[in-house]
A and B are shown apart, each in its own frame.
Chain A
């Protein structure tokens, strides 16, 4: 990625912008950026499965929701807990959820996998609706007293302050996305892509596919849980429809589709595009989701490789050019 100078420059500029945004933007705008960061991070965790392992998941809301609820419940039931431990509880809960689901998940791929994740997601949704005493059912849980953010026991920050939350959320999300990118550079990340391209071959090369998949699920689930936990803090309300509904699973899929399946940046640019679309259509119509749905269908039909499609096309052309050049040179 660092080979790609233009991309690196754009990233640096974006990060710089995000770093100084609160100094010239109002709370509404910085909140939007914070939400974008959280949802983009969530989409990147889904993308670990979709673009890098070749698995389409319709149920990632499960991990998002588990993280959100675990954090919210921790804040409510554990006296005086500070922010970071509450978030860690959210993350570990979603990782445990992923661990529990993995024995079944690793056995399937393709449409069966999509259906299975759909089933798990719906199961969690329905269960949380039913167990109202714990989850508050449709009304959900409201967080009135926000925990403070204790940094290394030295500084105590008030997370109610939008600017504080903004920097905290953005830093955590950017760091998480970077971690997931770094993962793709490691051997296990390489195995993941191998599984996507040719699971049978990977098996025959001596890799244990089920274990590799399980580890990826747990990591992906963990980051999704982190996104959910941050979302809970952000909204200060956690409801079943807000964090476990099937749309919560579909939105990152749509984002990845728009940004470009098969790329790392796809979910990030796609989420940005979705949010932009939301904002723009709000001005013209109430039916924002309808516009999103239509745009999505158009994208699937006419721009199946999304925003990243242009970039991919350029890459392929470059590869073909290199090969042609080699063949011409060896023929000469």
Chain B
């Protein structure tokens, strides 16, 4: 099985302060991979490097075998990589349907059309309807995104990530700030929506990590501390030490 995502000796610093100190990652195709680590370990920076928000100071990023180091977000998206945002990032003054529609239009390559009204694009609108059904937001289709409840907004956020039909989905703490009930719903939704796709998730909530991940990578001080199956990580002494009682020991 080939790797959908690889990083080779990835390094990055902010004004001289090295935050990522040589990270090698391998995410296999179809795999659900979690990246965990104590606060300040560099998870968010790593995430931002992979998703094109920063250009790495050193190292390579390969997506589907292709060198995508330094590619801008829109390019990565068109190659099949999509990300979600930790702080819900939807289009506030647009309705739920309009939000989803933007994703669908992009997937269909309709980005510069200025002569046909969107209302008349039947195929597009049908696809929007189908997506809304899958994420249970059909009833709220005409509600502004900013007026949705937190949980529903997260669902919209997730679906935006998926509308461009990516091969690799990167989720940035998708369950942050959720109640246990909402988390359970979110995890089910994530499992359903990432069926057959590759996924990388950065999370703090260990329940989520262990119920979703096929493999886990632990980051500490900008380096890979350990990589392996959930059971291996659970038993790993170095990981336990690094966390010092941060949830993983209690499992």
Contacts and interface: CB of A to CB of B under 8 A. Distances in A.
Contacts of B38: none
Given A190-B105, A197-B91, A198-B91, A205 B147 contact: no
Interface string A215-256: 100010000000000000000000000000000000000000
A205 B113 contact: no
A326 B83 contact: no
A323 B73 CA distance: 34
A319 B111 CA distance: 29
A185 B118 contact: yes
Contact of A207 (B94, B106, B119, B121): B106
Contact of B101 (A182, A189, A190, A262): A190
A207 B77 CA distance: 9
Contacts of A277: none
Nearest to B98: A190
A322 interface: yes
Closest CB pairs A-B (n = 9): A206-B77, A185-B117, A197-B91, A188-B114, A206-B106, A187-B113, A203-B73, A186-B114, A205-B106
Nearest to A205: B106
Interface of A: 182-183, 185-191, 193-194, 197-198, 200-209, 211-212, 215, 219, 262, 316, 319-320, 322-323, 326, 330
23 contacts: A186-B115, A187-B105, A187-B112, A187-B116, A187-B118, A188-B112, A190-B102, A193-B93, A194-B94, A197-B94, A198-B92, A204-B73, A205-B77, A205-B102, A205-B160, A206-B78, A207-B74, A207-B111, A215-B114, A319-B144, A320-B147, A322-B143, A323-B143
Interface of B: 51, 72-74, 77-78, 82-83, 85, 89-94, 98, 101-103, 105-107, 110-119, 121, 139-140, 142-144, 147, 160, 163-164
Contacts of B89: 198, 200-201
B49 to A, nearest CB: 14
Contacts of A202: 102
Given A190-B105, A202-B102, A322-B142, A185 B77 contact: no
A188 B111 contact: yes
